[in-house]
């Protein structure tokens, strides 16, 4: 994509600002862009948007073509798999032409399947709620035990600041209840008491738990708990058997939990085990015992059990030991069995374990088998406690999202629904595989790969590499029909499971955070070089994409190896590491010390400064870069990518490789909220990418 010489990019005003610390002086010429309410800031962002639109104008026909292609692969009118909960079948559906889902239910008859012909009750039509708003998102939904009341929360800006409301499902009317900046929503069993968490408006963390009685004034709500440590967020929920409300306080590395009987909403919460630094635990209840997943004896977690009456750790009994090569990611508890969600060698495994009786002793186990070399499998919606069936989701890079039901009695899985992909999709035309790239220190880094068989020519295909590598989040390997538009044009897609993520368990995360963070970036470069060395791509047509912390990754690899990549797409990128992490007044900064380090400490400062993208830009050649952000982003503030692009404009060598910034002026961290609007954003990205890779 060549940039017309008639197009002149915006030039941001320079206003010199310095921070001196630990013998360094950090210069920030564009700090003024933090002034969100300033007309000058808005004018600059809009000028960048206009420039971007002008540069990509020649791709408008391609964008339309891509949008139509992607839309053709979506079943616009569709229904999710219904699930049973307290006498109703619940499901969501979409309608052609409508941006948002519709939440529905139908009455259930005991022992009978979903009644297709029964009258439908719409409990919440998000399209109606969203009328008049450029952005709209649902935060949480919770139906009271008697099924009469729906508590839900909404965000109309993208800043992830939710307003709580309550709807009477018998009349369809909204009640007077309302609360701002809410998070978790939990009903007590009396159907009149509602617990909700609230965020600190300055630190943007959930820090208070309130108890509300339906019909009472909001001013009379009782503050039940307040988390004073600003590293910690709180969240609340019900155990699957419905007997307890559990309140969790958690940082990135430490957690503790409290509980109270769900039928005693005015009782005091009871602490299970006091927090200890770098120890996390998560609990659920079954027949008078807590089952606790905890990483006290090893990073990859073990499972212990303890009577409700004596929950502290000196009473814990081990059920599943810690294992060096197996990450215990979760436990689903039911009356007669449990399902262990494990990760081995980077892949998910679901292991079903029977309970011989009501006690906590585990009996025989059986693993659910999966057929492909790279896939994602995880629990689906399982609301019932007394059941012998278990639902899980499965998909891969070539297999659309599927919901299965495993029978404990037969040991067999039945497919309930697979995502329909219209428009002529044939999975046999595509090939998926898993390989490993060897890092400089000998570590084997997993890579998941997919391409269209008849379009593949060794060493000649355009290559797209995606990465994240932070917070211990495993990179999911799922099906995305949008990416057929890339695959069908011969692009090889690769997903790099780099250190810093959770793909190989907690130690994999530890090996890519704090003072080992650079492993994340060098792993990504290693993966890209390995793919080229094994002929999975044309060295002249390599691209990379990442978002948020993955946008940090994009910024670092661009500085490390600018000539390795032809094009970079960076979404809401965390690129101004030093200025953000030195400002404790910003939302999320202090909790993030556990991931990146505290730059007020000299050693951490030096290390973070060594890779911070904004601080390491220098004159030279750069790839074609598309940077995307949102004005109302609450996670990575819009000014980070805006400042990054403004500075880079003064440093990159003149050439035909564009540097583009696009700001969604009415959205947050995830971009557009409506499904059609979001599809247009993807078409925009793909048109940029395909032009740069000469793969139109």
Cite the active site residues.
548, 633, 669
CA-to-CA dists, residue 433 to 199, 365, 395, 402, 525, angstroms: 43, 29, 14, 19, 20
First to last CA, the chain: 11
Q: Which residues share a beta bridge with 326?
A: 323, 344
Bridging pattern class, strands 83-85 and 78-79: unpaired
- Structure token pair of residue 164: 């709580």
3-state secondary structure 59-86: HHHHHHHHHHHHHHCCCCCEECCCEEEC
CA-to-CA dists, residue 544 to 357, 503, 561, 571, 686, angstroms: 52, 19, 12, 11, 12
- Structure token pair of residue 360: 């906590």
CA angle 191, 196, 201 (to 5 degrees): 160
The Cα–Cα gap between 569 and 547 comes to 8
CA angle 526, 531, 535 (to 5 degrees): 145
User: Do the beta carbons of residue 452 and residue 464 sit within 8 Å?
Assistant: no
> In 3D, which of 223, 271, 214 has the Cα closest to residue 248?
271
Question: Which residues are within 8 A (CB) of 532 and not within 5 positions of it... i.e. 6 or more apart?
Answer: 463, 539, 542
Chain-centre distance for alpha carbon 583: 25
């Amino acid at each position: 994509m060549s940039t017309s010489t008639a197009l002149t990019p915006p030039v941001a005003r320079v206003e010199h600002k310095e921070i001196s610390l630990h013998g360094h002086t950090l210069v920030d010429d564009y700090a003024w862009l933090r002034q969100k309410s300033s007309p000058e800031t808005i004018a600059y962002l809009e000028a960048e948007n206009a420039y971007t639109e002008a540069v990509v104008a020649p791709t408008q026909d391609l964008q339309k073509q891509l949008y139509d292609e992607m839309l053709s692969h979506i079943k616009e009118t569709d229904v999710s798999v219904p699930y049973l909960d307290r006498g109703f079948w619940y499901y969501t559906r979409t309608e052609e032409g409508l941006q948002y889902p519709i939440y529905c239910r139908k009455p259930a008859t005991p022992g009978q399947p979903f009644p297709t012909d029964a009258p439908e009750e719409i409990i919440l039509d998000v399209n109606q709620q969203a009328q008049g708003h450029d952005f709209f998102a649902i935060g949480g939904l919770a139906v009271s035990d008697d099924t009469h009341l729906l508590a839900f929360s909404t965000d109309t800006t993208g800043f992830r600041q939710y307003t709580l409301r309550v709807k009477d499902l018998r009349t369809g009317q909204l009640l007077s209840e309302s609360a701002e900046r809410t998070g978790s929503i939990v009903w007590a069993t009396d159907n009149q008491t509602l617990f909700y968490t609230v965020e600190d408006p300055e630190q943007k963390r959930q820090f208070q738990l309130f108890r509300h009685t339906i019909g009472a004034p909001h001013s009379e709500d009782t503050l039940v708990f307040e988390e004073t440590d600003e590293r910690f967020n709180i969240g609340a929920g019900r155990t699957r058997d419905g007997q307890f409300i559990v309140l969790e306080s958690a940082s990135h590395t430490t957690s503790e939990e409290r509980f109270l009987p769900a039928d005693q909403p005015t009782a005091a919460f009871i602490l299970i085990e006091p927090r200890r630094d770098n120890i996390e635990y998560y609990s659920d209840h079954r027949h008078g015992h807590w089952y606790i997943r905890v990483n006290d004896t090893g990073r990859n977690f073990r499972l212990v059990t303890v009577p409700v009456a004596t929950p502290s750790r000196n009473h814990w009994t081990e059920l599943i030991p810690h294992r060096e090569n197996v990450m215990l990611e979760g436990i689903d508890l039911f009356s007669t069995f449990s399902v262990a969600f494990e990760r081995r060698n980077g892949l998910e495994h679901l292991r079903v374990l029977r309970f011989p009786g009501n006690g906590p002793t585990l009996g025989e186990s059986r693993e659910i088998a999966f057929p492909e070399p790279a896939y994602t499998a995880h629990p689906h919606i399982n609301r019932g406690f007394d059941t012998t069936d278990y639902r899980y989701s499965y998909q891969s890079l070539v297999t659309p999202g599927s919901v299965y039901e495993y029978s404990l009695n037969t040991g067999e899985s039945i497919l309930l629904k697979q995502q329909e992909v219209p428009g002529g999709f044939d999975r046999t035309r595509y090939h998926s595989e898993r390989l490993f790239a060897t890092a400089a220190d000998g570590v084997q880094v997993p890579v998941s790969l997919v391409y269209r068989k008849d379009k593949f020519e060794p060493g000649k295909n355009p290559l797209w590499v995606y990465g994240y590598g932070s917070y211990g989040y495993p990179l999911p390997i799922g099906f995305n029909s949008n990416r057929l538009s890339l695959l069908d044009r011969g692009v090889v897609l690769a997903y790099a499971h780099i250190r810093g993520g959770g793909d190989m368990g907690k130690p994999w995360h530890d090996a890519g955070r704090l003072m080992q963070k650079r492993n994340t970036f060098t792993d990504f470069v290693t993966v890209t070089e390995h793919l080229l060395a094994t002929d999975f791509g044309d060295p002249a047509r390599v691209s990379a994409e990442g978002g948020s912390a993955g946008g940090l990754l994009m910024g670092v690899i661009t500085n490390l190896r600018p000539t390795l990549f032809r094009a970079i797409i960076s979404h809401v990128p965390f690129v101004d590491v030093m200025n953000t992490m030195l400002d404790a007044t910003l939302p999320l900064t202090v909790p993030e010390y556990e991931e990146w380090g505290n730059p007020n400490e000299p050693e951490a400062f030096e290390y973070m400064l060594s890779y911070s993208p904004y601080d390491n830009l220098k004159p030279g050649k750069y790839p074609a870069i598309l940077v995307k952000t949102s004005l109302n982003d609450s996670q990575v503030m819009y000014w980070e990518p805006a400042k990054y692009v403004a500075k880079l404009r003064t440093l990159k060598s003149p050439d035909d490789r564009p540097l583009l910034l696009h700001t969604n002026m009415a959205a947050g961290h995830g971009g557009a909220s409506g499904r059609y609007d979001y599809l247009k954003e993807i078409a925009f990205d793909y048109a940029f990418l395909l032009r740069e890779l000469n793969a139109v």
